[in-house]
Each structure stands twice: as structure tokens, then as C-alpha cells.
């Protein structure tokens, strides 16, 4: 009997990536206070990479405790710029401020994935991508935020690379799936090895 695979995330792009790869899954969004967890970890001097991992694990654990028979995937993505962590912007002004800082600079996106089964962690991976933002004009950044606010408010850094945000960049080093917040190839590899999907 095939095990139930659950995505512990409300992210539409993660759901789309799994669906496009023909992975059968259910969605169960955990209720965790991400900002409180993040603030506590930052206060302890935790690295952005470890914060992404901790948040992904927290989501997977929460659903796995309720549904121990299922294979549960928790995910999180963080943006690291000069050792600082960027969160999702809460206002257009904040999105514009983030883009101003990143403009003409390099930053990293880290996409963490943790799989739980039976209330225990079974697998984890963190994909890292380096992005070079070109020098965009102030006028373009203003227009970009105004046009795209409804979409970019859900993204760290205030941009979506799969949409108009691609125009902000000159170079990307790393796996495109990690930019979208899901280390898909590694996840598919694990699911195939463990018989959750055929391979």
C-alpha cells in the first residue's frame, strides 16, 4: 500500500511543482508562529541556514504528530544578505526598502526541506542559490512594487523570479527549483528511494 504523502505548506508554487511532477499529495497547513520562532533563533545568533531548517522541521513535526502514518514534507525559504535574514515584506514600503538594499548586490536564497514519518525526522536537505541583482532604476523599482504587490507580499526579498521579478536579475547560480522554494529533485529522489513514488 502506498503511503500518504502530505505537503505541510500553503504555498501554491510548491503545490504546483509537486503536481506538475505527478506526485500524489495532500495539503495540511500547520499553524505555527513562524515570526516568534524566527525572532527567538535570531536572538540566539542562529545562522539563516539553520533558521530555514528549523522552520521546515517545525512544520513537518507538527503535522507528523497528528498523522504519524503519513510521510510529511515541511519547507521553508530564507533570504540571507550580508549575514542578515530578510522576511516577507508586510507593506509595499518594506518591499521597496528590501529591493533597494538588494539592488546591484548579490544575495543567497536557502530552501530547506525536512521529511518526517511517525513523528521522527527521516530526511533533510537545504538547497542554496546565489543571485545577482542588476542595478535597477528607482523609477522601475517603484513601478515594480506597485504593479506586483499582491504577489510579492508572499515572497522574501519582495520579488518573484517566476514572474516579472526575473527582470531584476543579471545572474543566478544554482537550481531554479530552489529559487521557487522547493529542492524538488532531491525530494523526488528520496520519495523514489523509499517507495512513496515509483522510480
The 10s digit of each residue's pLDDT in 105-121 is 999 999 999 999 999 99
Q: What is the mean pLDDT of residues 140-155?
A: 96
Answer whether residue 3 shows pLDDT above 70. Answer: yes
Q: Which residues sit opposite 132 in a β-bridge? A: 106, 171
Answer whether residue 165 shows pLDDT above 70. Answer: yes
Query: Of 26, 33, 76, 142, which is the active-site residue?
Result: 76
Query: In 3-state terms, what secondary structure has residue 63?
Result: helix
DSSP state of 4: P
Q: From CA 72, how far away is CA 29, in angstroms rounded?
A: 11
Q: Phi and psi dihedrals of 66, rounded to 5?
A: -85, -30
Q: From CA 109, how far away is CA 49, in angstroms rounded?
A: 9
Exposure of 54 in the CB half-sphere (CA atoms within 13 A): 16
Answer whether residue 145 shows pLDDT above 70. Answer: yes
Q: Are strands 169-173 and 120-133 parallel, antiparallel or unpaired?
A: antiparallel
60-74 residues labelled b (16+ CB within 10 A) or e (exposed): bbbbbeebeebbbbb
Q: What local confidence, expressed as pLDDT, does residue 173 receive? A: 97
pLDDT confidence band for 157 (50 / 70 / 90): very high
Q: From CA 197, how far away is CA 199, in angstroms rounded?
A: 7
Residues 47-97: pLDDT tens digits? 999 999 999 999 999 999 999 999 999 999 999 999 899 988 999 999 999
Q: Does the active-site annotation cover 175?
A: no
Task: Please tell me the pTM assigned to this model.
Answer: 0.91
115 burial level (CB within 10 Å; 0-12, 13-18, 19+): buried
Q: What is the mean pLDDT of residues 158-179?
A: 95
Q: What is the dihedral of CA 37, 64, 110, 54, to 10 degrees?
A: 30
Answer whether residue 35 shows pLDDT above 90. Answer: no
Question: What count of other Cβ atoms lies within 10 Å of the Cβ of residue 116?
Answer: 27
Please choose, from the candidates 98, 114, 110, the residue with its C-alpha nearest in 3D space to the C-alpha of residue 165: 98
Query: In 3-state terms, what secondary structure has residue 130?
Result: strand
CB 2 within 8 A of CB 192: no
Query: In 3-state terms, what secondary structure has residue 145?
Result: helix
Amino acid at each position: 500500500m502506498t503511503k500518504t504523502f502530505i505537503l505541510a505548506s500553503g504555498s501554491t508554487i510548491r503545490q504546483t511543482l509537486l503536481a506538475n511532477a505527478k506526485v500524489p499529495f495532500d495539503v495540511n497547513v500547520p499553524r505555527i508562529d513562524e515570526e516568534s520562532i524566527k525572532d527567538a533563533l535570531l536572538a540566539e545568533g542562529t545562522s539563516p541556514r539553520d533558521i530555514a531548517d528549523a522552520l521546515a522541521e517545525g512544520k513537518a513535526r507538527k503535522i507528523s504528530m497528528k498523522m504519524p502514518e503519513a510521510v510529511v514534507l515541511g519547507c521553508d525559504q530564507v533570504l540571507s544578505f550580508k549575514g542578515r535574514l530578510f522576511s516577507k515584506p508586510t507593506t509595499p514600503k518594506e518591499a521597496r526598502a528590501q529591493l533597494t538594499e538588494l539592488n546591484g548586490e548579490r544575495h543567497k536564497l536557502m530552501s530547506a526541506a525536512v521529511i518526517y514519518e511517525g513523528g521522527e525526522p527521516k530526511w533533510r536537505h537545504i538547497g542554496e542559490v546565489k543571485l545577482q541583482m542588476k542595478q535597477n532604476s528607482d523609477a522601475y523599482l517603484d513601478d515594480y512594487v506597485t504593479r506586483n504587490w499582491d504577489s510579492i507580499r508572499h515572497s522574501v526579498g519582495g520579488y518573484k523570479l517566476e514572474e516579472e521579478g526575473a527582470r531584476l536579475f543579471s545572474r543566478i547560480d544554482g537550481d531554479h527549483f530552489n529559487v521557487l522554494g522547493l529542492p524538488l529533485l532531491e525530494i523526488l529522489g528520496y520519495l523514489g528511494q523509499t517507495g512513496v513514488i515509483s522510480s
